[in-house]
Structure 1
């Protein structure tokens, strides 16, 4: 497998951590992680993709090993995280790339694609929504209540998403054999979530997530006009983004390839081999050196 390098770059005055693998002259693949994790979620996929591709997997600001300025110092929005991601890609000289998006990585990836359609060579979305379909009400009602009104009650409810129990729940729910998911995953994420001040960063992003669904019509227009090769691979038992979120992509990309696998929100933890084989096959067919 390819060697994975662990690096930092200064972007807009902030230190951004990223994992990198593969030959620099190969087609680029950018991996964009979700909440509450980091590029750590791709640790097992990167060396596989790095055999053929130049792989870049950054930690968003406030996540993983990237800088985490307080919510008073930095305005945490999905627009701002997108700008930092674009800045990192510019710094690395990456002009064209396939993207793999999951959870929070999806709205960042959609903004990148809509801002520069010619840069995106293919899209892999793994439990990363781009439609109103697929939002699982039980989880999202708590988020939307907090977005509408910040009261002690709505804040207390949303803060449960920052606990060890709910972090564990995200990893294990929908997984047939929970023993295949390492406890390192949720303990790693929880340790970083628990840094002083990180709670306010996450609360800000929960509020700002309300800016994402209004962009969906523009995203759908982008997909219809530019028709990037699109691959949706989903844990069918995800308690946050249900399978309807994957199937919805066929509305605007009729030849989208959609696979629902047994698993949950963090599919790579329980179905790495199956998912990686499907993703690699898709990229081989759609990316040219």
Structure 2
């Protein structure tokens, strides 16, 4: 299995992505979250590439994808989703399963709302789209939504520190020594780039648009009934288990599973999640 590391022009934006597997096999699109990039899938891609064509882009402002200035590119989830839609079109990906995690969920579900015919299945790994899935840890971010003052914006800068990245990786993990430092160190490197802090604060502020979209996403799930696997780290401090269980309300046949991990569950359970995904996708894509 060979992983390729490519960069493609998407309407003038250079988008980096990882890809592996037979290009003629069913496609699985992996969408990462905050503050990470496609490197979070380094252990999952080998689990899938034997049967699937796996594609994992870095979102604009993350990882190796170009980071345009804020006055040249609006860092909103609507705009990032538009880039991802065009990315799939430029690559010629006509139909694919999506794996959504954290920020990847509002991006992936916007894609599904715009082009429901293109999405063959959904795997949500701590990818929330229900109010009950939001923990109390969102309180300072909600304060910024309600009052977008400079003071409330500055109060969110703590989310961008190495201490918070470490917390996101290790919280809820039974053995922190089992979590490689590689992922979080890369995340901290990208967060420290000039101007990236303001980009991330823009996105934290814009996250309120994702909450506003929940009703539309849930209606899409009810009306379209795509195959859904919700497989979550049960100890996630941000997206709690109720958010996974809620998928069954709109897709009664949804598979809901938990692994004993935290937010970045792939760091400790890539093999288990990969096995669950192969079983799930085999039922629905072949």
Same fold (TM over 0.5): yes
TM-score bracket relative to the smaller structure: over 0.9
1:52 maps to 2:76? no
53-62 vs 272-281, which moves further: 272-281
Q: Which residue of 1 aligns with 2:249?
A: 251
**What CA deviation, in whole Å up to 9, does each residue of 1:99-132 have, x standing for no partner?**
0000000000111111111111000000000111
**Structure 1 residue 151 displacement after superposition:** 3.1
Q: Which residue of 2 aligns with 1:203?
A: 201
**Structure 1 residue 153 displacement after superposition:** 3.2
Q: Is this contact kept in 2: 1:20–1:57, CA < 8 A?
A: yes
**Structure 1 residue 185 displacement after superposition:** 1.6
3-state SS of 2:251 partner? coil
Moved over 4 A (4+): none
Q: Is this contact kept in 1: 2:44–2:271, CA < 8 A?
A: no
Aligned 1:77-226 pairs, distance under 5 A:
77-137=76-136, 139-226=137-224
**Structure 1 residue 7 displacement after superposition:** 0.1
**Structure 1 residue 188 displacement after superposition:** 0.9
State the distance in 2 between where 1:111 and 1:152 align.
29
State the distance in 1 between where 2:154 and 2:223 align.
43
Q: Which residue of 1 aligns with 2:263?
A: 265
State the distance in 2 between where 1:184 and 1:23 align.
28
**What CA deviation, in whole Å up to 9, does each residue of 1:13-65 have, x standing for no partner?**
11000000011110000000000000010011112211100111000000000
State the distance in 2 between where 1:133 and 1:207 align.
20
**Structure 1 residue 279 displacement after superposition:** 1.2
TM-score by length of 2: 0.98
3-state SS of 1:212 partner? helix
3-state SS of 2:62 partner? coil
State the distance in 2 between where 1:142 and 1:64 align.
26
State the distance in 1 between where 2:173 and 2:91 align.
37
Q: Is this contact kept in 2: 1:19–1:58, CA < 8 A?
A: yes
**What CA deviation, in whole Å up to 9, does each residue of 1:236-287 have, x standing for no partner?**
0000100011001010000100001100000000111111111111111111
User: How many pairs does the alignment contain?
Assistant: 286
Q: Is this contact kept in 2: 1:70–1:198, CA < 8 A?
A: no
State the distance in 2 between where 1:168 and 1:146 align.
23
Q: Is this contact kept in 2: 1:136–1:242, CA < 8 A?
A: yes
State the distance in 1 between where 2:194 and 2:85 align.
28
3-state SS of 1:167 partner? helix
Q: Is this contact kept in 1: 2:99–2:124, CA < 8 A?
A: yes
Q: Is this contact kept in 1: 2:158–2:164, CA < 8 A?
A: yes
